Structure 1
Amino acid sequence: MEIEEGSNKSGIEIGLYTLGDICPDPHTGKTISTQQRMKEIIEAAKLAEDAGLDVFGIGEHHRLDYATSAPQVVLAAIAQITKRMRLTSATTVLSTVDPVRLFEDFATLDILSEGRAEIIAGRGAFVESFPLFGYELKDYDALFSEHMELFLKLNKNDRITWKGQFRPALKDAVIAPRPLQKALPIWVGVGGTPESAARAGRLGVGMAIVILDGDPIRFKPLVELYRKTGLDAGYAFEDLKVAVTGHGYFSKTSQQAKDEFYPYYLNYWEYVNRQRGMSFRLSREDFEQKTRPETALFVGSPQQIIEKILRQHELFGHQRFLVQMDIGGIPFKKVAESIEVLATEIAPAVRKAISKT
């Protein structure tokens, strides 16, 4: 049986994503185990579904300080305790994975989840997967292009003949299993380059833009380029979906949200930049500036976040909003509280406002 990709009558899907980072808690200095981190990710997904959120995403990193090197496996576990939420990678490092193996894994996930699997494909913030899986970093862009081309063909055909530069050729190869959906929804993660936005449009796939800082208005030309390129390539407007992703944390008051989140936000960026050989300093005053109404960091009270999401929706007309809140060693209890605020206070108001427009 084939089923069509699910739709959201409110006009916007709201959900969570995690990269599964494992950081010491800045208050206690303690670091939880990989096993505990995975348990908490699965529990967060269950809380999100029970509270009424629409999407849950898991990122891919091949490092000891991240818990999720195989998002499809963790998503399969989540699929068994959820019934409705869309389940997506966030992102899959497409340059360093065999597209055939990737398609089979996510088609299997789609069957196990009864048609809820998706992929956000990207090129990765870290590059450890290139030597790990035998790829050359100099082929960074060419690998992504070839793997995307092949994956899209696999998504349309149960038999394929194909030849490329990096992978052994396929001759009348059977591609099994087939997903329960007509095709696996695929998005491209875009960090801010026009080339990436135009490519997503030419391919007719969704575009997930990562906005972590600054005024999001600077991304409006990318969204316009994506849609224009997609329409010029012959795709329908409704096929050209946009997702906005970013960091966030929510509490009853703005002051409480900022007071609770700042130490973990600072800890996360200090830790990430240290892994890259870079220093990072962020004063509390700088953090306050990052949370202003016109910025992309979603930290504040429900009303502030509602207004911020709706402002971005006026800019982009996007169909999906995903937030990452479990960063920098923040305890699961605080994550759970923030999920509840998002699901019960923010999401209903945003859906209601957008459904009217």
Structure 2
Amino acid sequence: MEIGISTFVETTPDVKTGEVISHAQRLREVVEEIVLADQVGLDVFGVGEHHRKDYAASSPAVVLAAAAPQTKRIRLTSAVTVLSSADPVRVFQDFATLDALSNGRAEIMAGRGSFIESFPLFGYDLQDYDELFDEKLELLLKIRESEKVTWRGGHRPAIHNLGVYPRPVQNPLPVWIGSGGTPQSAIRAGVLGLPLVLAIIGGRPTQFAPIVELYKRAAAQAGHDPSKLMVASHSHGYVAEDTLKAADEFFPSTQQAMNVLGRERGWGHYDRSSFDAARSFEGALYVGDPETVADKIIHLRKKVGITRFMLHVPVGSMPHDLVMKAIHLLGTEVAPRVREEVSKWEATL
């Protein structure tokens, strides 16, 4: 069972002061967070790609590369790379470079993107949303399979027997499929034999169990061994010494961020009652003291089959020192509990 962190490197206004941290400062803070995550024994750190004012990481590979020489063991991944609006050749080159700098610790999480700002920015039509992802994923996988590539598609110039460099340390370079939980995404990942990461940020996490089963069935039918495929969750959360303290510290920025997105997407108002319901044992928020958060992760492993858990923190902008404390507690107290209990449980199966 792997435990890690994901972040979108948000730069939303401070809830109390209204001040907005600069992109430069927040990017430097995230590098510090990655280094700490490595020091406290976490397994993976993911940085999500966005192209809007309130998110600083338009280039996750560059952010992760800044942390690579300062870390020793932690895996470094995008969370996600918006592959539909990217050039797969460049994505592969960027992450192969990261893989070299980290000595084999890079990963790509490829997704279609729930934010659409990158499509007009790079000249793509949203009407081609699904077709773009399928085509570009095909090219990305072809590049990782072979040094010399011959390929033709409908949305990018053809490639005829050209080399793509550098080649990564890992062979093959890990590519995950990021999904919001649609059956189509799960089946695609299963058929391709790729690990799957689910954004579990609402409702009841156990409702994703059928999606995981669908993924494994698709993998088996395609000739892959489902027992060797990893399934990850990306879930909002926060750890503090006390559960009420954790809730009180995490709620203000979460409410602000969720209501900004809610206004854009037509969601209802996000209030404290919604927040408290989501941090119940069966809810999708992993907020509380180390024991509370560990118990919820263990439950997710047993009921859904998640083999990697990524705590997304912060949601909105929180003080850097609080985020660092949460990472420290996740690594030193939550992760050991989870690993021990999951190991015991698996031994009984």
TM-score (norm 2): 0.96
Question: C-alpha deviations, 1:239-261, integer Å up to 9, x for none?
Answer: 32100111001112211111111
Query: Following superposition of structure 1 onto structure 2, how do residues 51-70 of structure 1 map, counting pairs within 5 Å?
Result: 51-70=40-59
Give the distance between the partners of 1:107 and 1:353, measured in 2 at CA. 35
Separation (CA, whole Å) in 1 of partners of 2:103 and 2:270:
44
CA distance in 2, matches of 1:153, 1:239: 21
Q: Which residue of 2 aligns with 1:16?
A: 5
Shift, 1:174, TM fit:
0.9
The answer to whether the 8 A contact 2:104-2:169 is kept is yes
CA contact (8 A) 2:49 2:80 kept: yes
320, 327, 345: which one pairs with 2:333? 345
- Give the superposition deviation at 1:286: 2.4
Q: How does 1:186-205 map to 2 (within 5 A)?
A: 186-205=175-194
| Partner residue in 2 for 1:152 | 141
Equivalence map 1:97-112=2 (5 Å): 97-112=86-101
Q: Which of 266, 272, 284 pairs up with 2:261?
A: 272
Name the amino acid aligned to 1:147: K
In structure 1, the residue matched to 2:299 is 311
Name the SS of the counterpart of 1:30 in structure 2. Answer: coil
Question: Contact (CA 8 Å) 1:23, 1:271: kept in 2 or not?
Answer: no
Q: SS of the residue aligned with 1:260? A: helix
Q: SS of the counterpart of 1:84?
A: coil
Structure 2 residue 73 is matched with structure 1 residue 122? no
Corresponding position of 1:222: 211
Q: 2:177 corresponds to which letter in structure 1? A: V
- Scaled by the length of structure 1, the TM-score of the pair is 0.94
Could you tell me whether the CA contact under 8 Å between 2:262 and 2:269 is conserved in 1? no
Which position in structure 1 is the counterpart of 2:232? 243
Q: Tell me, in whole angstroms, the C-alpha distance in 2 between the residues paired with 1:286 and 1:101.
A: 41
CA contact (8 A) 1:190 1:207 kept: yes
Q: Does 1:355 align with 2:348?
A: no
Which residue of 2 is the match for residue 141 of structure 1? 130
Query: 2:153 and 2:272 mapped to 1: Cα distance?
Result: 51
1:143 CA displacement: 0.4
RMSD (Å), alpha carbons: 1.2
Residues 1:177 and 2:166 are matched in the alignment:
yes
Q: Show the counterpart of 1:93.
A: 82
CA deviation string 1:11-69 (max 9, x = no partner):
x1110011111111111211111011001110100111111111011000111221000
Q: 2:28 aligns with which of 39, 47, 50?
A: 39
Q: Distance between the aligned counterparts of 1:229 and 1:291, measured in 2?
A: 32
Alignment-derived partner of residue 279 in structure 2: 291
Task: Give the gaps of 5 or more residues in structure 2.
Answer: none
State the AA in 2 paired with 1:44: E
Higher alpha-carbon deviation: 238-247 or 37-46: 238-247
- How far apart are the structure 1 equivalents of 2:267 and 2:224? 44
Number of residue pairs the alignment of both structures matches: 345
User: Structure 1 unaligned runs (5+)?
Assistant: 1-11
Q: Deviations over 1:146-178 (max 9, x none)?
A: 000111111110011111111111111111111
Superposed displacement of residue 280, structure 1 = 4.6
Q: Distance in 2 between matches of 1:218 and 1:16?
A: 22
Percent of paired sites with the same residue: 48
